[in-house]
Amino acid sequence: MTQLEWAREGIISPQMEQVSQYERLDAEFIRQGVSKGAIVIPANTNHTNLVPCGIGQGLKTKVNANIGTSSDFGNIDTELEKLWVAINSGADAVMDLSTGGDISAIRQAIVASSPLPVGTVPIYQAGIEAIAEHGAIVKMTADELFKTIEEHARDGVDFITVHCGVTRQAIARLKQQKRVADVVSRGGAFLMGWILHNERENPLYEQYDRLLELSRQFDVTLSLGDGMRPGSLADATDRAQIEELLILGELVQRAHEAGVQVMVEGPGHLPINHIEANVQLEKAICNNAPFYVLGPLVTDIAAGYDHITGAIGGAIAAAAGTDFLCYVTPAEHLSLPDSEDVRQGVIASRIAAHAGDIAKGVRGATEWDREMSLARKKLNWGEQARLSLDPKCFHRVHTKHATGGSACSMCGEFCAMELAEKYLGISVARCP
Ligand code: SF4
| pLDDT tens sequence across 308-348 | 999 999 999 999 999 999 999 999 999 999 999 999 999 99
Summarize pLDDT for 92-121 with one digit per residue, the tens.
999 999 999 999 999 999 999 999 999 999
For ligand 1, whether the C-beta of 408 sits within 6 Å is yes
Summarize pLDDT for 353-372 with one digit per residue, the tens.
999 999 999 999 999 999 99
How many whole angstroms separate alpha carbon 399 and alpha carbon 387? 17
Summarize pLDDT for 201-235 with one digit per residue, the tens.
999 999 999 999 999 999 999 999 999 999 999 99
Summarize pLDDT for 373-417 with one digit per residue, the tens.
999 999 999 999 999 999 999 999 999 888 878 888 998 888 998
Q: How many CB atoms lie within 10 A of CB 242?
A: 15
Per-residue DSSP letters for 244-305? HHHHHHHHHHHHHHTT--EEEEE-SB--HHHHHHHHHHHHHHTTT--EEEE--BS-SS-TT-
**Percentage of residues in the chain having pLDDT higher than 90:** 91
Beta-bridged to residue 67, according to DSSP, are 96
Separation of CA 264 and ligand 1 centre (Å): 44
For ligand 1, whether the C-beta of 415 sits within 6 Å is yes
Q: Which atom of ligand 1 is nearest to the CA of 414?
A: 1
Whether the pLDDT of residue 27 is over 70: the answer is yes
Query: b or e along 309-334 (b: 16 or more beta carbons within 10 Å of the residue's beta carbon)?
Result: bbbbbbbbbbbbbbbbbbbbbbbbee
Model confidence, pTM? 0.95
Mutational pocket test of ligand 1: of 373, 384, 417, 422, the residue with most ligand atoms within 8 Å of the beta carbon: 417
Whether the pLDDT of residue 423 is over 90: the answer is no
Whether the pLDDT of residue 39 is over 80: the answer is yes
Separation of CA 95 and ligand 1 centre (Å): 40
Protein residue with its CA nearest to atom 4 in ligand 1: 408
Q: Say what the pLDDT of residue 74 is.
A: 75
Residue 426's pLDDT band (boundaries 50, 70, 90)?
Answer: low
For ligand 1, whether the C-beta of 416 sits within 6 Å is yes
Classify burial at 388, counting beta carbons within 10 Å of its beta carbon; exposed 0-12, middle 13-18, buried 19 or more: middle
Separation of CA 101 and ligand 1 centre (Å): 50
What is the average pLDDT value for the chain, to the nearest integer?
95
Separation of CA 330 and ligand 1 centre (Å): 30
Determine the average pLDDT of the residues in 251-257: 98
Q: Say what the pLDDT of residue 432 is.
A: 43
| Identity of the residue numbered 402 | A
Summarize pLDDT for 43-86 with one digit per residue, the tens.
999 999 999 999 999 999 999 999 999 888 878 999 999 999 99
Q: Say what the pLDDT of residue 422 is.
A: 85
Under a CB-based contact definition with an 8 Å cutoff, are residues 137 and 127 in contact? yes
Protein residue with its CA nearest to atom 6 in ligand 1: 415
Separation of CA 393 and ligand 1 centre (Å): 17
Whether the pLDDT of residue 431 is over 60: the answer is no
How many whole angstroms separate alpha carbon 82 and alpha carbon 330? 15
Mutational pocket test of ligand 1: of 377, 380, 398, 408, the residue with most ligand atoms within 8 Å of the beta carbon: 408
Which residues, 6+ apart, have CB-to-CB distance to 249 below 8 Å?
A: 285, 286, 287
For ligand 1, whether the C-beta of 407 sits within 6 Å is yes
For ligand 1, whether the C-beta of 419 sits within 6 Å is no
Which residues, 6+ apart, have CB-to-CB distance to 222 below 8 Å?
A: 159, 160, 162, 211, 212, 215, 255, 260, 261, 262, 263
Q: Kindly report the CA angle at 250 between 279 and 255, in degrees rounded to 5?
A: 100
Mutational pocket test of ligand 1: of 415, 421, 428, the residue with most ligand atoms within 8 Å of the beta carbon: 415
Read off φ and ψ for residue 333, nearest 5 degrees. Answer: 75, -5
Separation of CA 415 and ligand 1 centre (Å): 5
How many whole angstroms separate alpha carbon 290 and alpha carbon 64? 14
For ligand 1, whether the C-beta of 375 sits within 6 Å is no
Under a CB-based contact definition with an 8 Å cutoff, are residues 304 and 286 in contact? no
Diameter of the chain measured on Cα atoms: 80
For ligand 1, whether the C-beta of 411 sits within 6 Å is yes
Q: Kindly report the CA angle at 328 between 273 and 399, in degrees rounded to 5?
A: 110
Which residues, 6+ apart, have CB-to-CB distance to 137 below 8 Å?
A: 127, 130, 131, 190, 193, 194
Mutational pocket test of ligand 1: of 398, 409, 410, the residue with most ligand atoms within 8 Å of the beta carbon: 410
Q: Which atom of ligand 1 is nearest to the CA of 416?
A: 7
Listed residue (244, 317, 237) closest to 286, CA to CA: 244
Q: Say what the pLDDT of residue 421 is.
A: 85
